Structure 1
Amino acid sequence: MNRSANTNAVLLLLLCTFFWGACFPVGKQALSEVHPFTLVLWRFAIAACCLFVYAKWKNISMPTLTPKQWVWVIGVSIVGVGGLNLGLFTGLAETDASNGALIMALSPLATSLIGSLLQRTLPTRGAVFSLVICLFGVLLVLTNGDLQRVLRFEFNHGDQLIFFGMLCWSLYTYLTQGISRWMPMIPYTLVGMLAGFGVISVVTALSATVHPIQESLLIDHIILADILFIGVFGTVGGYLLWISGVKQLGAANASLFFNFVPVFAVLTALMFGQNVTALQLLGMAIVIAGLLLPRMVKWQQQWMAKKALI
């Protein structure tokens, strides 16, 4: 691989995870003035418009699929994209941005475990180790250091919603691996944004307390900037940067950069003046260690094996 291209890929992935991490405190700030449904509605609308323009610019057209394939694509998109955003942003209205980012950091691990479950195979020892360590770190934060609350099932409602959204996204990520064999990613993502827009539109229409048009006319310019950031950079920009990085470094290496999401979330939260506790920082460190240690051991074993052959 070209070293310069690898360096560029690393920078793109770091920028991508910064955008994703920043979405948590930015979204938390936006939710101070708009309803979560309104925020999600605008996120999907902005992202869909941007992706449509990008697809036209790159001459990317929708593929020809069978009715069964369309049902599968739209169904998976509704569960993954719709479920994630409904869980994430309704949850953020009731919990800290740092908690949300910490829960979402479990997504790569959850995706791996869902794969093991659906394929009826046992997870690797590294995956089990990561699961135990990461869950300990997350539960330490979510229970505010009182782990006995786990036995009493006492969790913040917002944390529960984000955890549900994370599971939806992990299932979506796993199922996407199969869909990507016969549907290009840009059209697939555009369908996901449109499916998410449809879901939130129906939910909003059925809610008597949500008035997105009236809210949108009254929002402050700072909140408008927050919504545009989430739609343009946190959704479309992050996704395109992620694709570029994965193409150069591979999915396995790129997935390591997901660990920077909670780090950037905390740094951005501090910039926004939002509260970040020492316990949240400790939990974040434990989760990142749980995700990285098995990979580091594997790398060391591979390095020793190569050294023995020399």
Structure 2
Amino acid sequence: MAPSAGALKRATLVLLFAALIWGSMIPVLGALAEHYDKWLLSWSRYILGLPVLWLAVWWSTPPAASPRPINWQRLLRLGAAMSAFSVLYTFGVAHSHPATAAIVLMCGPIWATILSRLMLGSTTPPGFFLTLSIVVAGGIVVVIGTPGRTPGAYRLEGGEALLIVAQFCWSWYSIRAQQWLSDRGQVALSALTSTVASILLGFVVAGVWAAGGITWPTRAPTTLELGMVVWIGVLGVAVAVLLWNTGVSLVGVPVASLFSNSAPVFAIGLAALMGREPSWLQVAGGVVVLGGIAQHQIRQMRSARR
């Protein structure tokens, strides 16, 4: 069943806001990673986001119908998919050239569409594949236009495959979470799965620590750095994951994944506000990405009103 015009409007708002948050995390995480271990940052994001999610569960109105009993095996699998995404993403970025890693990530909507078709046999809205091509192409233009990129920067270093698997893990989580937990509402769904993911990530971080792979900070964080850490946890996990799951529940994973390609566009805008002037290619690519998403949503809204 095609989403209503109202659902499309709500999905557009929540998914753009999620992309805005994730885009803002790119320069923030980059700044924090200069002084703090990436594993500690990855885990702290989930730990800081959990209290906010559970407060939201407490404040929110429970579903009208009683939800099914929790299937703990399924919940564990959902948490494992989230934590696998985080670990594979960390290793994938660490073992890829930044340019090729960004291009692989820009192809995320392709993997999401393939997985959705395989798992659900779902069909896509009219014009979706044209929009998919526009959004992916625009995202790649954004990457190509990165200032300071050296000639011959696009080379494979092995981590790209991990990034593809990471994106499949995230899409699998997004699909199965709606199938298994949507009767509990999007707030509880996000809180439950993020809690399990944080526990599993804690075990991963403990293993990395035992292997001597954790670099502990040598100084206390500044007030600005504390604010940045809270930002990536409260907004980057609690708010953004909730917004993402809400958007997926309204329009499905393939369409929702299109919006994720706008995150780097927002990152460029934030970087510009911080004094880093974007290149004309980045601006042009950003216009293509946002224009592709806009024309798709407008076309769907018009179709829903007929």
Match 2:214 to one of 211, 214, 218: 211
- Identical-residue share of aligned pairs (%): 20
Alpha-carbon spacing, 1:129–1:121, altered in 2? closer, same or farther (3 Å):
same
Q: Which residue of 2 aligns with 1:19?
A: 21
8 Å contact from structure 1 (residues 109, 131) kept in 2: yes
8 Å contact from structure 1 (residues 134, 286) kept in 2: yes
Q: Which residue of 2 aligns with 1:269?
A: 271
8 Å contact from structure 1 (residues 16, 238) kept in 2: yes
Q: State whether structure 2 residue 66 is matched by structure 1 residue 65.
A: no
Alpha-carbon spacing, 1:198–1:241, altered in 2? closer, same or farther (3 Å):
closer
Q: Which residue of 2 aligns with 1:229?
A: 231
Farther-moved stretch of structure 1 (26-35 vs 132-141): 132-141
Q: What is the alpha-carbon root mean square deviation over aligned residues?
A: 4.6
Q: Which residue of 2 aligns with 1:172?
A: 173
Give me the whole-angstrom Cα distance separating, in 2, the residues matched to 1:136 and 1:155: 19
Give how far 1:46 is off: 0.8
Give how far 1:36 is off: 1.5
Give how far 1:184 is off: 3.3
Give how far 1:117 is off: 2.3
Deviations 1:231-256 (A, max 9, x none): 11222233455677889xx547x947
Amino acid at match of 2:167: M
Give me the whole-angstrom Cα distance separating, in 2, the residues matched to 1:224 and 1:72: 35
Amino acid at match of 1:262: P
8 Å contact from structure 2 (residues 12, 297) kept in 1: no
Q: Which residue of 1 aligns with 2:203?
A: 202
8 Å contact from structure 1 (residues 73, 188) kept in 2: no
Give me the whole-angstrom Cα distance separating, in 1, the residues matched to 2:286 and 2:161: 18
Give me the whole-angstrom Cα distance separating, in 2, the residues matched to 1:7 and 1:159: 34
Q: Which residue of 2 aligns with 1:32?
A: 34
Give me the whole-angstrom Cα distance separating, in 1, the residues matched to 2:145 and 2:157: 10
Alpha-carbon spacing, 1:245–1:129, altered in 2? closer, same or farther (3 Å):
closer
8 Å contact from structure 1 (residues 36, 90) kept in 2: no
Give how far 1:160 is off: 5.9
Farther-moved stretch of structure 1 (232-241 vs 20-29): 232-241
Deviations 1:249-294 (A, max 9, x none): x547x94765653332211122334574444444434444454555
8 Å contact from structure 1 (residues 84, 169) kept in 2: yes
For structure 2, the 5+ residue unaligned runs are 1-7
Farther-moved stretch of structure 1 (39-48 vs 49-58): 49-58
Alpha-carbon spacing, 1:136–1:294, altered in 2? closer, same or farther (3 Å):
same
Give how far 1:210 is off: 3.7
Report the secondary structure of 2:35's partner residue. Answer: coil
8 Å contact from structure 2 (residues 49, 235) kept in 1: no
Farther-moved stretch of structure 1 (169-178 vs 34-43): 169-178
Q: Which residue of 2 aligns with 1:188?
A: 189
Aligned length: 290
Give how far 1:116 is off: 1.1
Give me the whole-angstrom Cα distance separating, in 2, the residues matched to 1:174 and 1:164: 15
Q: Which residue of 1 aligns with 2:155?
A: 154
Give how far 1:11 is off: 6.6
Deviations 1:63-111 (A, max 9, x none): 6635xx22112212221x21333344555667769x75x7656545543
Q: Which residue of 1 aligns with 2:4?
A: none
Report the secondary structure of 1:180's partner residue. Answer: helix
- Counterpart mapping for 1:72-111 below 5 A: 72-79=74-81, 81-89=82-90, 100=102, 107-108=108-109, 110-111=111-112
Give me the whole-angstrom Cα distance separating, in 1, the residues matched to 2:159 and 2:282: 16
8 Å contact from structure 2 (residues 174, 245) kept in 1: no
8 Å contact from structure 1 (residues 47, 236) kept in 2: yes
Q: Which residue of 2 aligns with 1:3?
A: none
Report the secondary structure of 1:219's partner residue. Answer: coil
